[in-house]
Structure 1
């Protein structure tokens, strides 16, 4: 096959890193005899031809026959990797906009499909487990691929391969524009009545993904039974399965899409069914509660029941999910206080996080003991997201506890002195900055960090602390920064200097430069002091869809002028920013909070913001269970803004 393929002029083609003239030598190394060298070369080939997806480059069509040759060669150790790479390219070719797909790809892909269909009968089950992935992308050849999948399923003995055949058929039907073949429809509909639990699960998930069978409640029962009672090992080996068994429940749950009632029912069955495991139910409950608001009242008590589960992993997930729900965890405060001293660090930290979120003072003593003991589990980076199963971050755990600074602050200062890594030192300083004046006793320790690599964070924290020695230290650092500071650092220094000294001139001079980025939030903070910047701001104002920067620009102008016209312009900008917004993130939330400062002159914003409080689908970007806390914070911000608007 490869000998019959015309040799491309590689230098005229491109991969993701530039001209493709280096690919022939790289392909030769992939085919070499040394396994380690071949694996490294294939990884490099994968990166250059596929990278992170998003486009099919011009080098992909001539590489495709090479990959097919490896996939079909029983003696090639790269067979499975080649099939996966073909599938990845085919998926991008199907999903990406035409301008991101090289014109030669469709014909090359059409020619590859028959070779892949032949691999359905390959003697190696590992290859048969993978080949469903690329074939699931062959929508234009569905009339040939679907019968081949069904034929192979009738004789296939490998359970993981059978699952892959079913899921490939479901995906093909989902994206098929023409009439669905009756034979394929009957095949998928019959699977939920099969004896084998893994096949019933595959059938139910495929039916939901393809849209076949609608929202039949029986699908939920099939999925719950399979997840609760069957061996999910074959799913991990299938191309369509998760990398870990414990991720199968969220994957099956995600196949239910917008069927909120079905997903709540699945979570309930997994949490409460006889003999059902707790962890899958907690994973699915976390996914559902992070997407919609209304399921929390129904699912949270069932989640809390798992706080007493004998399995530490289940208790960890349960306590993290209760913590994510903030003040709604109050009914289980006593149990959380007990778990705060659990021997398993993950359980204890989750309970501390939950107690912190509900403002329960019983968080202080066990947390203080851990900080005093130098517990490494309380020294983790604050910049991570609170994904389910990852535990609380330092900032999320301690930021709400500034009222207990008299007990906790000396311990944090001790941790800061003993910090051995840059990350831990930064996170502790950022936490002190978040505590603001409550961290005033830490002024001396922050001053000791001036002149070290932690100086920028320390100076920001000193500004937030606001003591006289802190302000003097920032003023002494001057408004310009070190001689080798870049423009961004010089800008931050000027902001810091103004906040500490009250002198805005160095900052205004920087903002007045034509090349300077006018940060509307900062200009708004300056208010009337920034009047000289008004002409440049007005040049940039103009409604643009989904542009929160326009909201902030209009608000900054109002802060300068105080006129009703600029207040109204802020409302108009908000109307443009809200429709179609993928998620109201921190950036947009800050914009909404600023509108509240305008007061009754911006009352027209109220009917635009009220729906954010009444929708069931959480209007925040999805980030696992952190979306629950993010949504709670958004609701609080919107509520305060509406109150201020009158």
Structure 2
């Protein structure tokens, strides 16, 4: 085994973290009798030698030895080694055929293709796990399309397990996209599998979906109804719903791990789970349907109506993807998701609440269902030790709060008073200004106790953000104290958050002017920009603000400076020469902010130049849409030349605006509609 491995100059080869001299030891450890040692070696190989799908010189040099491991029946966990080989080959073939591929990708792709028959042999192995790991290689490494399809057809026999045969249908679509000459034969074969009454409905569904994947442009209106009919067959044959096992009680994260980091890892772990045999199939179907929103909505309606909790849970996630990506009236889907809040399966209910909280700008149809779910177990549900019930309650309370509904307040009080996941309550507290008298004192106490020296983002940022939105003047003293303390420790993140809170208070924060002025000359440019912006909002003294704003126009905080000058308006005319220079800046965002400021300062005479910059930047970078739309709205009738571009944007199915978020897109649509009206 591994003859010649030490003849390779591994130290001269590279992986993600430098020299690859430890690769021989990793390869040796993959055949260790100790399972933990094998898993550790495989994990290290993925993280170093195949880091995030990359291929390095050491990756290519490892392939002969990995293939030797895979071919030895005595190798433990052969399927994992083959899966690694197929993963490397997949990435290499995907990149190796591009114009910008480097030698390592090209070399690995060539190795995979030259050993395609070895992979084909693995698909006939006696071990079903080995066969499953190898089947995807048939769509990628064999260049003889007829031979590849013949092997796939052979591996579709009913004597093989269902999971293998599902992989066969997916691999057939992969093969067809790579070698289009096989499409007629492949699609005809898959169509025959769909019609075969002896096939399991899951297998026929897979054949149907991957037949469409062979030629997405030829998808017919019959696809979704046929898929829904097969889903019903699967549901009819499913056993009666059984309770899912309860996970262990909630345990707090380690002291050195911030709660939001722990929560993010929990979310990632949930996202990787497969809850039903149809999970990947239906994801593939939604991807093939793309912008066919009405057809995808019909499919999701059927998924959300399934008696199988795993199918409904997957459907909630796929609904989330649709809502995030496409505009439209999604109220029917929102109501179907809201109905899942009452599901017996608490994990399904918690997933529904998570969607509604994440997509709260369009969650209004779920308001009463959210309130009813909270009322069913009372505000103490926030602190329950049952993980799914806790997530369900917390996300439902957060969604309801984001809708501005005070019925969420009792749960937020429990969170803030008990300090159980209080950071989540802080996230949404600012959405309930009608409850400022109850929330501000609690936030005040938390802010006073916040550690401003933390290496992680401080809880103070979230608290200050909530106080900003609440806009209650009673918070002024503690916000001012926090500004001074954060600046003293040079915690510029918290300093800027405190300045933002004072900015929201406007002239009501006049008593903090000395503290605001104290940070105008600090070293951190972003903090200086926030201080200048806040000074204008609080004092309105243009004689004091103008020199500082003009100086910022020469820094990388020039966008913030342009915004301040725009708010000052015509009295900021001294800035016009520099602002006009910035209309030709290289960066879209700099040009957009400068153009908006030019309009706000100089008005109608500058309309042609301003529109030219705004519309060009918007075409070039759709994320600028919100800022562009806000300026067009201020321009009124002068924005008339933008009407064709506005109408084109409003006619799109896909969401736009900054970050592609639902909230920003909804704002973009409202602002552009207002521009058309004007």
| TM-score normalised to structure 1 length | 0.80
Q: 1:460 to 1:282 in 2, by over 3 A?
A: closer
CA-CA distance at 1:128 after TM superposition: 1.6
Q: Determine the structure 2 residue equivalent to 1:251.
A: 283
State whether structure 2 residue 608 is matched by structure 1 residue 573: no
Contiguous gaps of at least 5 residues in structure 1 = 233-240, 381-392
Q: Determine the structure 2 residue equivalent to 1:424.
A: 459
Write out aligned runs for 1:148-297 (5 A): 148-154=151-157, 156-180=159-183, 182=185, 185-187=188-190, 189-191=192-194, 193=196, 194-211=198-215, 214-215=219-220, 216=223, 217-223=225-231, 225-226=233-234, 230=238, 243-245=273-275, 247-248=279-280, 251-258=283-290, 259-272=292-305, 278-294=312-328, 296-297=330-331
1:564 to 593, 605, 608: 605
Q: Determine the structure 2 residue equivalent to 1:616.
A: 653
Counterpart CA distance in 1 for 2:2 and 2:131 is: 22
1:214-253 Cα offsets, whole Å, 9 max, x none, are 3333133224543675489xxxxxxxx9632165576255
Q: Determine helix, strand or coil for the equivalent of 1:451.
A: helix
1:32-63 Cα offsets, whole Å, 9 max, x none, are 6665455434333323333223x543443322
Counterpart CA distance in 1 for 2:37 and 2:312 is: 44
Counterpart CA distance in 1 for 2:99 and 2:72 is: 32
1:346 to 391, 412, 436: 391
Counterpart CA distance in 1 for 2:531 and 2:133 is: 55
Q: 1:183 to 1:606 in 2, by over 3 A?
A: closer
Counterpart CA distance in 1 for 2:48 and 2:353 is: 43
1:66-103 Cα offsets, whole Å, 9 max, x none, are 22122222333353333233233223233333313424
Tell whether the 8 Å contact from 1:71 to 1:82 is kept in structure 2 after alignment. yes
Q: Determine helix, strand or coil for the equivalent of 2:157.
A: helix
State whether structure 2 residue 429 is matched by structure 1 residue 398: yes
1:500-549 Cα offsets, whole Å, 9 max, x none, are 55423663464355xx22533431322367666655554453498x9454
Q: 1:148 to 1:580 in 2, by over 3 A?
A: farther
Q: 1:317 to 1:229 in 2, by over 3 A?
A: farther
Contiguous gaps of at least 5 residues in structure 2 = 242-270, 378-388
2:638 to 582, 591, 601: 601
Q: 1:327 to 1:58 in 2, by over 3 A?
A: closer
What RMSD in Å do the two structures reach over aligned CA positions? 3.9
Q: After alignment, is 472-481 or 319-328 more displaced? A: 319-328
Q: Determine the structure 2 residue equivalent to 1:145.
A: 148
Q: 1:594 to 1:85 in 2, by over 3 A?
A: farther
Counterpart CA distance in 2 for 1:45 and 1:372 is: 44
Counterpart CA distance in 2 for 1:491 and 1:628 is: 28
CA-CA distance at 1:605 after TM superposition: 2.2
Tell whether the 8 Å contact from 1:543 to 1:550 is kept in structure 2 after alignment. yes
Q: 1:271 to 1:373 in 2, by over 3 A?
A: same
Write out aligned runs for 1:435-454 (5 A): 435=470, 438-449=471-482, 450-452=484-486, 454=494
CA-CA distance at 1:268 after TM superposition: 1.9
Tell whether the 8 Å contact from 1:153 to 1:162 is kept in structure 2 after alignment. yes
Q: Determine helix, strand or coil for the equivalent of 2:653.
A: coil
Say which structure, 1 or 2, has more relative contact order (CA 8 Å, 6+ apart).
Answer: 1
Counterpart CA distance in 2 for 1:326 and 1:36 is: 44
| TM-score normalised to structure 2 length | 0.77
1:551-585 Cα offsets, whole Å, 9 max, x none, are 333223334443533x322322333334475xx44
Write out aligned runs for 1:10-29 (5 A): 10=10, 13-18=13-18, 20=20, 23-24=23-24, 26-28=26-28
Q: Determine helix, strand or coil for the equivalent of 1:122.
A: coil
Tell whether the 8 Å contact from 1:253 to 1:266 is kept in structure 2 after alignment. no
Q: 1:309 to 1:325 in 2, by over 3 A?
A: same
Aligned residues: 606
1:376 to 420, 426, 443: 420
1:565-618 Cα offsets, whole Å, 9 max, x none, are 3x322322333334475xx44x53133213323333333223322333343333
Write out aligned runs for 1:50-69 (5 A): 50-53=50-53, 56-69=55-68
CA-CA distance at 1:190 after TM superposition: 1.0
Q: Determine the structure 1 residue equivalent to 2:440.
A: 409
CA-CA distance at 1:430 after TM superposition: 1.9
Tell whether the 8 Å contact from 1:543 to 1:576 is kept in structure 2 after alignment. no
1:459-482 Cα offsets, whole Å, 9 max, x none, are 44234334346533523534222x
